[in-house]
Amino acid sequence: MRARLALAVSGQVCELREVVLRSKPQGLLQASPKATVPVLVLADGKVLDQSLDIMLWALQRHDPGAWLAPSDGALQDMLALIAECDGPFKHALDRCKYPSRYPDTDIDAERAKATTWLGLLDARLSTRPHLFGTHTALADMAIGPFVRQFAAIDAPWWDAQPWPHLQAWLAHWQAAPLLARVMDKLPAWVDGTQGVVFPAEPVP
């Protein structure tokens, strides 16, 4: 999701191929042996198979919303917070979201780790509307999808947490028109067929 957000906002038009991972097409396997998504194949044949790398690639070409230039802090500060999300928080998220995949894991302990970090985000957001200042930036769009996933595990539990700033931030993030545009449902891509043009229309 976050790769699509950056591609859309930066206006990097590409051919989008929706992939069902339980039935991986040969085209995906040929593009990236990791066979994970997202994968971006550039015009020169270079392959980017990490969502954050795709975000940075797109925004370095065109960054109309100044996602790489937060009003507070710098790009390196954002990358450090994103690393916390993609590392320890994502580790805990996966175990809370898919407990059957991790039968030997203490799920309560993993949830505690996640909630500690989310509490820090709430404290951060108590002094600013976005993670790094007055406007949406890379960190908001890179971290938002994972906070969204965690909140969806148990919505009543999420709503009951003492995180008013984080909850408001997530609600604002989920209501963004850009998010709705990149989440359009598409049919699964089949080898030998054309994908769809993405973004279908320029993002205002």
Residue-wise pLDDT tens digits, 155-188: 999 999 999 999 999 999 999 999 988 988 888 9
Residue 192: its pLDDT value, please?
A: 92
CATH number at residue 133: 1.20.1050.10
What is the DSSP secondary structure assignment for residue 196, as one 8-state letter?
A: E
| Same-domain status, 54 and 108 | no
Please give the single-letter amino acid code of residue 137.
A
Q: What is the dihedral of CA 120, 123, 125, 131, to 10 degrees?
A: -30
The H or E element containing residue 40 is: strand 40-41
| 204 in any annotated domain | no
| Same-domain status, 36 and 90 | no
Residue-wise pLDDT tens digits, 70-88: 999 999 999 999 999 999 9
Distances (CA, A) of 108 to 113, 120, 162: 9, 19, 18
| 20 in any annotated domain | yes
| Same-domain status, 80 and 162 | yes
As for how many domains the chain has, the answer is 2
| Same-domain status, 90 and 147 | yes
Q: How far apart are CA 118 and CA 73, in angstroms?
A: 20
| Same-domain status, 80 and 173 | yes
**Any idea which residue has 């028109």 for tokens?**
177
Q: How far apart are CA 73 and CA 134, in angstroms?
A: 11
Domain carrying residue 22: 2-65+183-191
What are the φ/ψ torsions at residue 194 (nearest 5 degrees)? -80, 145
Is this model's pTM higher than 0.85 or not? yes
Res 4 pLDDT > 90: yes
Q: How far apart are CA 119 and CA 162, in angstroms?
A: 8
Per-residue pLDDT band at 204 (split at 50, 70, 90): low
